[in-house]
Amino acid sequence: MTEKITYLDNAATEKPYEAAIEAMVNAARCYGNPSSAHTAGRAAAELLEDSRKTLSSVVGCEKDEFYFTPSGTFANNAAILGTAYRHIRRTKRIISTDSEHPSVELPLKRLESEGFEVIRVTTKDGLPDYEALENALMSPTSLVTVMHVNNETGAVYDIAKVRSILDSTPSGAMLHCDNIQGFLKESNPLRYCDMMSVSAHKIGGVKGCGGLYLSKTTRISTIVEGGGQERSLNPGTEAMPAIAAFAAAVKERTADSGRDERISELKSYLLSAVTKIDGIEPNLPKNSSPYIISLSLIGVKSEVATNYLSSIGICVSAGSACSSKKRENRVLTAYGLERTRADGTIRVSLSPSSTKDDIDKLCAGLRKITERIIIK
């Protein structure tokens, strides 16, 4: 990959920190299996526990409440399916929103096909319908699963409010939060959650590692059988290189204390620049993350725009990277965009290493597209 690219697709994945790569390589050299009792195994086990300590302290939980998983997707699946099956005798009712990531939406669909009732509250304009949530929670429910930061629009959903509604209603539901786009980017919603998913490569770790916080009082069924690792939640040999890199990335990220302010400034800079370009309209939820900016190019298909930007070295995505292999605009339509506008929406996502220069290059590219192909 050329070094000169302008990378603004950080919600898909971030460039790993050098420290994370180094930790990954070192962990690969420390090749023992953490489950083995011999010297090599114990060295790996020690690294595993050190990493868990780092993660749990940043996540804000006890060490044995944090489980390493192979991905954020796995963490979401484990939490949703595990809770649904655990409480199957009490209730087969689950509440979520209409704009969740496929790693939440698809397990929910699977549960529906198995006879579960799934209620999805609307999230028009990036605002969950809290009243509908409250009404839905009047009946016995096993799980409420709501994302913290929407991966396509950047809308921030109020997890504290969800908790307070949940506590004031008689459903008996657990609360799971997909915090994959919010981890170390938004205020930490952990204290409101019974379960929370995170992912390493969204914050400068490497691919192959996610994590699930599971409060001590929460019991879920396991969805994969195997050797009992991670207290049977993810019962395979631990991916030590990715786990060690996750811990290293977390340390790097938390050491950069001014990151959120910088990113907020960059977002303002981007928004003021794009408002000067005819044919581009940002989609701004009332409460939004500074890291994700959704832009609609009126009359241009998002894939056409991303192809053009890619040809001049600028990487952004159409909608979300996770659903870009399918023609669907479920999330943007739920946000309230018309089909044609959703078809022309791109996502710009920032990281602590993004610069004003990146934004300038992006705006120059966008200007060229709108001048050349905005449909009359």
Catalytic residue positions, numbered? 322
Other residues' Cβ atoms within 10 Å of the Cβ of residue 360: 14
Alpha helix (H) residue ranges in 8-157:
18-29, 39-59, 72-86, 102-113, 130-136
Q: Which stretch binds another protein (CB under 8 A): 77-85, 243-251, 275-283, 300-308?
A: 300-308
Give whichever of 131 and 278 is closer to another protein, judged by the CB atom: 278
Q: Which residues of 141-176 are buried (b: 16+ CB within 10 A; e: fewer)?
A: bbbbbbbbbbbbbbbbbbbeebbebbeebebebbbb
- Closest distance to another protein from the beta carbon of 322 (Å): 13
375 touches another protein (CB under 8 A): yes
Contact in structure between 203 and 183 (CB atoms under 8 Å): yes
Give whichever of 4 and 325 is closer to another protein, judged by the CB atom: 325
- Closest distance to another protein from the beta carbon of 311 (Å): 3
Which of 3, 327, 339, 357 binds another protein (CB under 8 A)? It is 327
Q: Which stretch binds another protein (CB under 8 A): 115-123, 244-252, 286-294, 322-330?
A: 322-330
**Contact track, another protein, 258-287, x by CB under 8 A:** ------------------------------
Residue 277 zone, left/alpha/beta (φ > 0; ψ -120 to 50; rest):
beta
- Closest distance to another protein from the beta carbon of 344 (Å): 11
Could you give the strand order of the β-sheet that contains 93-97, starting from the edge strand earlier in sequence? 66-69, 210-214, 195-199, 174-178, 143-147, 93-97, 117-121
Give whichever of 143 and 277 is closer to another protein, judged by the CB atom: 277
Counted residue by residue, the chain has a size of 376
User: How far apart are alpha carbons 91 and 142 in whole angstroms?
Assistant: 6
Which of 237, 272, 307, 355 binds another protein (CB under 8 A)? It is 307
325 touches another protein (CB under 8 A): yes
Give whichever of 60 and 299 is closer to another protein, judged by the CB atom: 299
Give whichever of 179 and 317 is closer to another protein, judged by the CB atom: 317
Measured CA distances, 151 to 51, 102, 126 (Å): 26, 10, 11
4 touches another protein (CB under 8 A): no
Q: How many residues bind another protein (CB under 8 A)?
A: 17
Residues 105-144 interacting with another protein (rule: CB under 8 A):
none
Q: At 214, list the tokens.
A: 């599971």
304 touches another protein (CB under 8 A): yes
Other residues' Cβ atoms within 10 Å of the Cβ of residue 71: 22
Contact in structure between 339 and 327 (CB atoms under 8 Å): no
- Closest distance to another protein from the beta carbon of 299 (Å): 7
Give whichever of 89 and 327 is closer to another protein, judged by the CB atom: 327
322 touches another protein (CB under 8 A): no
Q: Which stretch binds another protein (CB under 8 A): 49-57, 143-151, 289-297, 323-331?
A: 323-331
User: How far apart are alpha carbons 98 and 334 in whole angstroms?
Assistant: 6
Residues forming beta bridges with residue 349, ordered by sequence position: 9, 292
Q: Which residues contact 142 (CB under 8 A, 6 or more apart)?
A: 83, 84, 86, 87, 88, 90, 91, 92, 93, 94, 172, 173, 174
33 touches another protein (CB under 8 A): no
User: How far apart are alpha carbons 257 and 262 in whole angstroms?
Assistant: 10
Q: Which stretch binds another protein (CB under 8 A): 97-105, 157-165, 212-220, 318-326?
A: 318-326
Which of 308, 336, 360, 363 binds another protein (CB under 8 A)? It is 308
Q: At 25, list the tokens.
A: 């390589």
Chain contacts with another protein (rule: CB under 8 A): 299, 301, 303-304, 307-308, 310-312, 324-327, 372-373, 375-376
